[in-house]
Amino acid sequence: MKQSARDEILNKLKAAPRKTIPSRSERPVLRELSLTPEELIETFSKNLSQEAGIVHRVKDRREALEKLSQIAKEEGLKKVIATTDDVIASLDLAAWGKENDVRVMTPQDFDSRDSFKDAVFEEADAGITGADFAVAESGTLGLIHNKDQARLTSLAPILHVAIVPVERMVAVYEQVIEKVFGEKKNLPSQFCFITGPSMTADIRGVPFKGMHGPRKVIVILVGE
Residue from 52, 68, 33, 36 nearest 221 by CA: 68
Strands 103-105 and 126-129 come out as unpaired
pLDDT tens-digit map of 74-108: 999 999 999 999 999 999 999 999 999 999 999 99
Low-confidence ranges of the chain (pLDDT < 70): 1-3, 24-25, 27, 199-211
Dihedral sign for Cα 3, 4, 9, 13, please.
Answer: negative
Residues in a beta bridge with 144: 191
d(C-alpha 95, C-alpha 83), whole Å = 15
Per this entry, what is the length of the chain? 224
d(C-alpha 126, C-alpha 61), whole Å = 20
Tell me the CATH number for domain 34-222: 3.40.50.10420
Do 215 and 197 contact (CB within 8 A), yes or no? yes
d(C-alpha 136, C-alpha 57), whole Å = 15
Tell me the pTM: 0.84
d(C-alpha 145, C-alpha 189), whole Å = 7
Angle at 122 between CA 121 and CA 128, to 5 degrees: 55
Sorted by where each begins, the domain ranges of the chain are 34-222
